[in-house]
Amino acid sequence: MEPAIYADDLRKAYGDVRALDGLSFAVDRGEFFGLLGPNGAGKTTFINVLVGLVHKDGGTAEVFGYDIEDDYREARDRIGLSPQEFNVDRFFPIHEVLEHKAGYHGIPQGEAERRAAEALKTVGIWDKRDTRFDWLSGGMKRRFLLARALVTDPELLILDEPTAGVDVQLRRDLWGVIERLNAAGTTVLLTTHYIEEAERLCDRVAITDEGRVVDVATPDELRSRGTDKVYVTLADPPAETPALDIDGVREIDRDGDTLVVTAGGGGRVAPALLRELEYAGHEVVDLDIRRASLEEVFVDMTRVDEEAEELGVVG
Amino acid sequence: MAPGTDGHSGADAAGGTAGTPGDVRAGAAATDGGTARDTTGRATGGGLLGVGFRSLLKREVLRFVRRPRNTFIPPAITNVLYFAVFGVILGDRIDEVAGEPYLLFILPGLVVLGAIGNAFENSSFSIFHGRWNEYIHETLTSPLSYSSMVLAYILAAALRGIIVGFIIVGIGLLFTSVPIERPFYLAAFMLVVPLLFASLGVIGGLLAEDFDDLTVMNQFILRPLVFFGAVFYPLGSLDPLYQTLSLLNPMVYMVNGVRYGFLGFQEVDPLASLVVLSGLTAVVALVDVLLFRRGYGLID
């Protein structure tokens, strides 16, 4: 079965700026997929290529096997997009905006009205149905963008910074809705600046930088590439930093009675670490492992790349 | 179309495809594929005149119907003024023109003037405003075909032009009785002429960079053509040189055709005019579709 999204060597340049520079990856059906990257990495450009708001210069993109140019109607019909910017019809109350959008997707009037009502209830702004978009509060505007993406019952839900500037309660609400949809089989493509959100929600993430995909993996896999810190508190402060020969340990620092061990894969290292220390006559009273966050790995990956670029190693 | 977009087989799409450095592990964490939805058999907005098209048409019509203060009241007021000043106050001092009272002579021209102005304004404004606030993305990202989109914009705008035409005739009826000598020609011209300007308005809406551009198109292009389009005078009253020059003005043929429909008075062959205007409308509408397909003014 074709993947939900297939992108191969996508290219798009604005003058000298290469917004997409050979972007390639695939999203499986039913996946909750995160697209992470610093500003200007090409995330929004990529999304706009999929929905037909940006002409790609080269490469291939398909949605459920439908080429986004040759079979653009099939591809677009399957996508529900909640964009970063507010781009909503100002002339009509929001329930009519939803009915129109559903109509554009071939959904007849009666059914469109039912779905519009359902979508507004789902995101919790049914009581604002007769209001125009401009009169909604910021949080309600975000909710509405999600409702508009849902009203066509998409198989691929694309969320471009859906929780930007949104308070904690609303974020939780929105994620509840989205997770339920994903559980029901809707593929989700998410871009967000809140990396801990991606870490918690996504099955896999793609790290993008400068118009390319740097890596694709599960959040766990990515985190395991980062370095964890193991804090071992000893009963008696050691006079000097003990030398430990353990696979994976990169660095040992001493902070009073606590040893700070930097290692790839803290959980794997900890048992050997304890054995060695006790063998050397130390009494361990406390142990704490702090795993690398996805955010740290993300910053490492995108920063390293920048440095490499400057050195002329990449590109 | 951009190079390199063809010749890809969908079968390649399966499996690990991220041709990037690093270990890709496609599918490693994919949720159970069994729950992924079946994606066949969607509506995709229907055929040229399907549900999608009708939805956009409805949206476009409701937009102007719900804002009569911006769409219907202004031409009504303007034409009351035209009829009062040119028809009644000045008209009483002007002899019959072409065998008709002056008020009746100018009525067809005023109908054309109102119809084309409103048809042009509707499609150009609607598209430009949608671009300006980016909500035209709602249409562009939908599965509507470009032909359906363009047709909906054109038909709605033409409808507004035709309604304004009716309003102007209605106002004329307050001042005089209005004959209809050639109903077929009247109907045909009153269809084709608003359609033509609705189609031109689509181009205007795509070309405009800001709101002033729309004003410029209306004030500096449309209005002079209309005023020199034999609305307020017969061609026969001009020197031969200016008569010949006037024949370069497309407005002359439209006003002449509509006037023929109402009064049976003609200075240019109405059938030939109708054929040429219909052809022109088809060409402009085709250009509209091509511009939409290319995304001119719409997408990056």
Of A70, A106, A155, the CB nearest to B39: A155
Of A25, A79, A102, the CB nearest to B17: A25
B29 lies in some domain: no
B261 lies in some domain: yes
Candidates A21, A85, A96, A105: best to mutate against B (most CBs of B within 10 A) is A105
Q: How far is B174 from chain A (nearest CA, A)?
A: 34
Q: Which of B222, B194, B226, B209 is nearest to B122 (CA)?
A: B194
B16 lies in some domain: no
- What are the pLDDT digits (tens) for B244-265? 999 999 999 999 999 999 999 9
B281 lies in some domain: yes
ipTM value: 0.82
Helix, strand, or coil here: A32?
Answer: strand
Per the CB < 8 A criterion, the answer to whether A94 and A144 are in contact is yes
The answer to whether residue B55 scores a pLDDT higher than 70 is yes
Q: How far is B130 from chain A (nearest CA, A)?
A: 8
B1 lies in some domain: no
Please count the helices (runs of H) and the strands (runs of E) in chain B.
Answer: 12, 0
Number of domains in chain B: 1
pLDDT of residue B5: 36
Measured between CA atoms, the residue of chain B closest to residue A19 is B300
Of A22, A73, A212, the CB nearest to B143: A73
Rounded to the nearest angstrom, the gap between the alpha carbon of residue A286 and the centroid of all alpha carbons in its chain is 35
pLDDT of residue A300: 75
Chain B residues in contact with A154 by the CB 8 A cut-off are none
Pairing of strands A66-67, A58-63: antiparallel
- What are the pLDDT digits (tens) for B167-182? 999 999 999 999 999 9
Please give the interface size between A and B, counted as residue pairs whose CB atoms are below 8 Å apart: 236
B135 lies in some domain: yes
A298 in contact with B, Cβ within 8 Å? no
pLDDT of residue A303: 64
Per the CB < 8 A criterion, the answer to whether A3 and A26 are in contact is yes
Candidates A104, A214, A298: best to mutate against B (most CBs of B within 10 A) is A104
A214 in contact with B, Cβ within 8 Å? yes
The answer to whether residue B193 scores a pLDDT higher than 90 is yes
Chain A residues in contact with B145 by the CB 8 A cut-off are 73
A6 in contact with B, Cβ within 8 Å? yes
Residues in chain A, pLDDT under 50 = 312-315
Neighbours of B281 (CB within 10 A): 22
A97 in contact with B, Cβ within 8 Å? yes
A90 in contact with B, Cβ within 8 Å? yes
Domain range for B271 is: 45-294
A92 in contact with B, Cβ within 8 Å? yes
Token pair recorded at residue A278: 């006790």
Of B12, B20, B37, the CB nearest to A215: B20
Work out the mean pLDDT of chain B and round it to a whole number.
Answer: 86
Share of chain B above pLDDT 70, in %: 85
User: Helix, strand, coil shares of chain B as percentages rounded to 5?
Assistant: 70, 0, 30
Instruction: Please report, as a single letter, which amino acid is at residue A163.
Output: T
Across the interface, do B135 and A212 touch by the CB < 8 Å criterion?
A: no
**pLDDT confidence tier of residue B20, bands split at 50, 70 and 90:** very low
A113 in contact with B, Cβ within 8 Å? no
pLDDT of residue A91: 94
Q: Which of A184, A190, A180 is nearest to A159 (CA)?
A: A190
Of B17, B43, B62, the CB nearest to A26: B17
Instruction: Indicate the range of A100-114, B14-28, B86-100, B186-200 predicted with least confidence.
Output: B14-28
A76 in contact with B, Cβ within 8 Å? yes
B78 lies in some domain: yes
The answer to whether residue B31 scores a pLDDT higher than 70 is no
Per the CB < 8 A criterion, the answer to whether A305 and A213 are in contact is no
Structural domains in chain A, CATH included, are 5-223 (3.40.50.300), 227-290 (3.30.70)
Instruction: Indicate the range of A31-45, B40-54, B168-182, B275-289 predicted with least confidence.
Output: B40-54
Instruction: Please report, as a single letter, which amino acid is at residue B112.
Output: V
- What are the pLDDT digits (tens) for B122-137? 999 999 999 999 999 9
The answer to whether residue B33 scores a pLDDT higher than 50 is no
Chain B residues in contact with A56 by the CB 8 A cut-off are 2, 5
Q: How far is A149 from chain B (nearest CA, A)?
A: 10
Across the interface, do B135 and A87 touch by the CB < 8 Å criterion?
A: yes
Across the interface, do B4 and A26 touch by the CB < 8 Å criterion?
A: no
Share of chain B above pLDDT 90, in %: 69
B19 lies in some domain: no
Distances (CA, A) of B92 to B87, B89, B111, B176: 7, 6, 21, 13
**pLDDT confidence tier of residue B18, bands split at 50, 70 and 90:** very low
Chain B residues in contact with A58 by the CB 8 A cut-off are 2-5
How far apart (Å, rounded) are the C-alpha atoms in residues A83 and A7?
Answer: 20
The answer to whether residue B152 scores a pLDDT higher than 70 is yes
pLDDT of residue A241: 78
Of B17, B56, B135, the CB nearest to A6: B17
